[in-house]
Structure 1
Amino acid sequence: MTSSTPRRTVLAAALAAAASTAGPAPTVAAAERAEAEAGADTDPTAAPRLVDNHFWSSHTDWRSGSSAGTRAVAGRRPGLELAVPVGLVEYADPHTARSSIWEYASWTSPVHTLSVPATEVVASWNADTPAGTWLRIDLRGTYDDTTTTPWYVLGRWASGDTDIRRSSVDGQSDGRSSIGTDTLSVDDPASGSRLVAYQLRLTLHRMPGTMLTPTVRRLGAMASDIPDRFEVPASVPGLVRELAVPRYSQNTHVGQYPEYDNGGEAWCSPTSSQMIVEYWGRAPGPERLAWVDPAFADPQVCHAARHTFDHQYEGCGNWPFNAAYAATYESMSAVVTRLGSLTELESLIRVGIPVITSQSFRQEELTGAGYGTSGHLMTVIGFTERGDVIANDPASPDNAAVRRVYDRRQWENIWLRTKRYDANGKVRSGTGGVCYVFWPVKSASSQHRALRSLGLV
């Protein structure tokens, strides 16, 4: 299978898979009990934090910054809405050849000064976009010499695809930094140039003459400066636990809906996202799945692929689009971040939060995988007594085979490194610990503490 950007969602071998769902998510009591039994682990070999996570989500947050026609909405789950449009804008959708007029309003965040001067920034947003609405997310960074980037478009997004086609925007650069699908990157980190601050801007759109509005519940970004490394220090195992996460295989869907990145063989990201959505007890109802051919198994995976598909990237592996998809389900939060070690990942598994990780490797670098990949997503669901990683790997021959156990040292290195050699001996990039984290808004106190310790809430 192929993809337009080789750093993710590309398997060098086509495999297969199917699904057997496990039981419900752990109860709050179970999560609290597991944390109490396990205690707090510390690993002296853990890498220092090289990641700055910052998010706006409270009523106070939405009342900060600069508003032009938006309003902060209080309540059980605060948000930002379009109140009074400040004008009309014409948007010519390059993916439909259709031009439409939209009312719009905007909100610009305060400047966030980074605790970690960064070479990369990846945004996340959680929003509701009823039919007839959509939003655009922009970012402007500040360099360490006080100059700024232009306002980069990070995405034009809607949960559906009847009004606009959700898409990233190619070809954005100022000669010092550029946008690669979902990531703002400093072009030459070796120069010493770094981003030291950023602002985010939301532009909310709706059909003229209506009272419709998007509602944004969470907005923020992960900024990081991960050093070049072919190997990372080994962590000390600190947890034995396995979560009951549903098992789905992308390759059950090979050949289905090829308009979405050639069908299931490229669907590792939405397949993984769907596993976690259902782990938390959420799922698309029959009316949302009515478009899927009833002859297809696991129609919710087809649904996830369609609703994460980036029409510019021409793939389902846009990281923020997957997080945004998960957050379209009731009372769900979702972000893209980086973790620094398996010890940090263990802190989430300990309290019942599975994690979707992104990694690249040659076949011989991960014993038992049976394939090599220049970019693949899988779901970490636990750790064995030896400390090995238990993963739901969507690149499996059938649903029963989705659960895999991978050697801890091998797995940790392929996930956390930023440099690797491909099969031809050429140096390629690694993700440096990129992952998706999804959780319910109303979570156990132990879960909230674990998320807070990583800067996610």
Structure 2
Amino acid sequence: MSGPDQPTRRSVLAAAVVAAVAGGAAPAAAAQPAGGTTAPAAGRRPPGAGGGSARPVDYRAWTTYADWRAGARDGTRAVAGARPGLEIAAPRGTTDYTDPHTGTTATWEYATWTGPLHRLPVPATEAIASWNAHTPAGTWLQVELRGTYSDGTDTPWYVMGRWAAGDQDIRRTSVDGQSDGRSTIWTDTFSVDDPSSGLRLAAYRLRLTLYRRPGTQLTPTVWRAGAMGSDIPDRFTVPASAPGRVGAELTVPRYSQEIHAGQYPQYDNGGEAWCSPTSSQMIVEYWGGRLTPAQLSWVDPSYADPQVCHAARSTYDYQYAGCGNWPFNAAYAATFEDLQGVITRLGSLTDLETLIAAGVPAITSQSFLKSELTGAGYGTSGHLMTVIGFTADGDVIANDPASPSDEAVRRVYRRREFENIWLRTKRYNASGKVVSGSGGVCYLYFPAHPTPRQRAALEAVGVR
């Protein structure tokens, strides 16, 4: 959680671009956009617009054997089975990568997969990629996005993340300073610079580059790669949804980020800022994910809930200097056996009711003043919490990690207040300045093989 006087996670990042990868792994050359200090807000159409119009949020993923075969493979292969994936077959070459966070240069073999062009049903102002993969020691991957604008021109290839489950080979990182003067990458989000111009992202394709130590047979395995494109309106308030499927509560573990304050300050100044990994760990364990004693052996044995420390380390973005990179959290969740994770946007609390009724909890992102969320007791410029149910009256039951103890994590928040602070894209901060909101961002973690009921609920909110 960011404090009330801290910048939002959508603030402009450092101006300098870190050291580039040579060859095919190099990020697009880009200049920092001039003017302003915060990322532009999203677009114009509200979620759930009537009249049969297309949803203003589109999540598309590549997960099947046919999906992986449909892309252009250069040194990669599609792998069939219960969980189809993409692996290195025969590397296309080698490249040197200088890790900007360690200064270490190493040589890597690499192979690529370039996905087919995906046309968005509603052209978007923002896009967020997410992925699920296994990266054994000695491997890592890079995810890129290239868009086509509504005027028919193309963006550069933008790096959406350089990622590994561990931190022994590279430091997982977003890439600052990527812009073509019309769109910009803000940590993990593609954003059209001036939505009021009418310019939109009409289509995109993804490119995956898989890396391994030369001379080995190691390979990353990618099970899911996708992106969410959205055109959400600039708005301070959102329409209220009527309670529907209420009265259900899921039994989700409760973890406090606050009991970790001061622990491992190298990871975003310790637990005070660990709302995202703490929320992620709650849902991972709800689905049965467990860390082994060996995985937790690095944590000080005097610390309670060492798995939260591990989640913070495993989601830390060394460029953003925080644990709140949205896709990195989803990718962490998918490192647990038979789990998937995606980043999308939802349109109302009705969507969350649909998921909860099927046994699927969700992580929501919101920012608010202390006076805007009754019972929270704090204000924040960006905070993640886990929605686990609804009271009989339709109020939101949340596991809020910004609590003084594990026992105090369960909260009940007023439906109307919660829905508005989560779905809006504009708000006033404590100084009266207009700043951005998340526009309904949501992390969804669910089994690799959902039950029919779970699958139907996920499809109902646009996730397949």
TM-score (norm 2): 0.89
Q: Does 1:227 align with 2:236?
A: no
Deviations 1:226-252 (A, max 9, x none): 011100011000121000000000011
Number of the residue aligned with 2:14? none
Number of the residue aligned with 1:269? 276
Any conservation in 2 of the 1:46–1:235 contact (CA below 8 Å)? Answer: no
Number of the residue aligned with 2:15? none
- Partner residue of 2:198 out of 176, 181, 192: 192
Seen in structure 2, the aligned counterparts of structure 1 residues 331 and 9 have a Cα distance that, compared at 3 Å, is: farther
Deviations 1:419-444 (A, max 9, x none): 00011111010001001000011222
The 2-side partners of 1:338 and 1:5 are apart by 24
Q: How does 1:23-172 map to 2 (within 5 A)?
A: 47=49, 49-172=55-178
Number of the residue aligned with 2:261? 254
The 2-side partners of 1:246 and 1:165 are apart by 29
Any conservation in 1 of the 2:6–2:381 contact (CA below 8 Å)? Answer: no
Is the deviation greater in 211-220 or in 446-455? Answer: 446-455
Q: Does 1:358 align with 2:353?
A: no
CA drift of 1:57 comes to 0.3
Seen in structure 2, the aligned counterparts of structure 1 residues 2 and 355 have a Cα distance that, compared at 3 Å, is: closer
Any conservation in 1 of the 2:92–2:110 contact (CA below 8 Å)? Answer: yes
Give the partner amino acid of 2:335: T
The 2-side partners of 1:342 and 1:9 are apart by 24
Q: 3-state DSSP class of the match of 1:288?
A: coil
The 1-side partners of 2:6 and 2:460 are apart by 32
CA drift of 1:454 comes to 2.1
Number of the residue aligned with 1:27? none
Q: CA RMSD in A?
A: 1.5
For structure 1, list consecutive stretches of 5 or more residues without a partner in the other structure.
Answer: 11-44
CA drift of 1:336 comes to 0.3
Deviations 1:235-287 (A, max 9, x none): 00012100000000001100000000000000000000000000001111111
Number of the residue aligned with 1:214? 220
Deviations 1:22-71 (A, max 9, x none): xxxxxxxxxxxxxxxxxxxxxxx955531011000000000012110000
Any conservation in 2 of the 1:46–1:233 contact (CA below 8 Å)? Answer: no
Number of the residue aligned with 2:384? 377
Q: Does 1:349 align with 2:356?
A: yes
Q: 3-state DSSP class of the match of 2:352?
A: helix
Number of the residue aligned with 1:178? 184
Q: 3-state DSSP class of the match of 2:262?
A: coil
The 1-side partners of 2:341 and 2:228 are apart by 12
Any conservation in 1 of the 2:2–2:382 contact (CA below 8 Å)? Answer: no
Number of the residue aligned with 2:330? 323
**Structure with more relative contact order (C-alpha pairs < 8 Å, separation 6 or more):** 1
Give the partner amino acid of 1:138: E
CA drift of 1:455 comes to 2.3
Any conservation in 2 of the 1:106–1:202 contact (CA below 8 Å)? Answer: yes
TM-score (norm 1): 0.91
- Partner residue of 1:453 out of 440, 443, 460: 460
The 2-side partners of 1:81 and 1:441 are apart by 18
Deviations 1:88-107 (A, max 9, x none): 00000010110000000000
Misfit runs of 4+, over 2 Å: 1-10, 45-49
Deviations 1:168-206 (A, max 9, x none): 000000000000000000000011100000000000000
Q: 3-state DSSP class of the match of 1:53?
A: strand
